[in-house]
Amino acid sequence: MVMQQNLIPFLNLDEGMLKEMIPLGTVRTYPKGSIIVHTGDISDSLYVILSGRVKVFISDEDGKEFILSTISPGDYFGEVALDGGPRTASIMTLEACRFFVIPKAEVKALIEHHPDFARDLIGRLIRKVRNLADSVHNLALLSVYCRLLKFIEEQSTQCEDGRLATERLTQQEIAARVGASREMVSRIITDLTNCGYISVENRRIIVHKELPEH
């Protein structure tokens, strides 16, 4: 079972320290494009991302996707299924990934013996619920134009030439993030580019001036 020792900063521990702390945990490696979890799966493990990124998404019978979030190293996923219920979303690797996989019994021991971990887990669950509620609000009440502007604003950070998006994304990937068609996203990006608000370089959006009101 989990060793009796201070846990935090849990997500800053390297692979060796995780193995020492949680002997029953295992390291798994997946190539880009691998489905780690399918919606509806019954599984009971927590996945700590050691390297790489994954996307959390839902899809319909026709394969149309809506991306709920992306998760990077230092974060984890799978906590929602620890109640024994089915997975609520699918997980796919966006690049080659390594995970430290912790069985349900070990996660319960972490929660019981390490209050810092329990608080971190609760905090992350709260943020995920808030983000999901925000996504539902945006889909229900905002137009595609407004959702895309909000997405660009949230994704950009300050740089020399203005504000630069933190991720390299295709228009299809952006469309999946904002719940729209690629054609609609392409049309809006073209309009914003022609009006001098943004430019796109190497799949990154650069914001050159204050975006229109939305």
Q: Fold for 10-140, please state it.
A: Jelly Rolls (2.60.120)
The pLDDT score that the predictor gives to residue 1 is 45
The pLDDT score that the predictor gives to residue 7 is 43
The pLDDT score that the predictor gives to residue 2 is 45
In the chain, CATH 2.60.120.10 covers 10-140
In the chain, CATH 1.10.10.10 covers 142-207
The pLDDT score that the predictor gives to residue 69 is 87
Q: Which long-range contacts (CB under 8 A, 24 or more apart) does 8-13 make?
A: 8/114, 8/116, 8/117, 8/120, 10/114, 10/116, 10/117, 10/120, 11/48, 11/74, 11/75, 11/76, 11/120, 12/74
The pLDDT score that the predictor gives to residue 19 is 81
Nearest to 13 by CA among 41, 38, 50: 50
* CATH number for the domain whose boundaries are 142-207: 1.10.10.10
> Taken in order 61, 62, 68, 69, is the CA torsion positive or negative?
positive
Q: Return d(Cα 9, Cα 174) in angstroms, integer.
A: 33
Q: Are 123 and 10 in contact (CB under 8 A)?
A: no
Q: Are 81 and 104 in contact (CB under 8 A)?
A: no
Q: Which long-range contacts (CB under 8 A, 24 or more apart) does 115-120 make?
A: 116/6, 116/7, 116/8, 116/10, 117/7, 117/8, 117/10, 120/8, 120/10, 120/11
> Running along the chain, 214 residues long, what does each successive block of 10 average in pLDDT?
46 74 90 94 87 92 85 87 82 95 89 84 88 87 93 83 77 91 94 93 88 78
Radius of gyration of the CA atoms of the chain, in A: 19
The pLDDT score that the predictor gives to residue 8 is 44
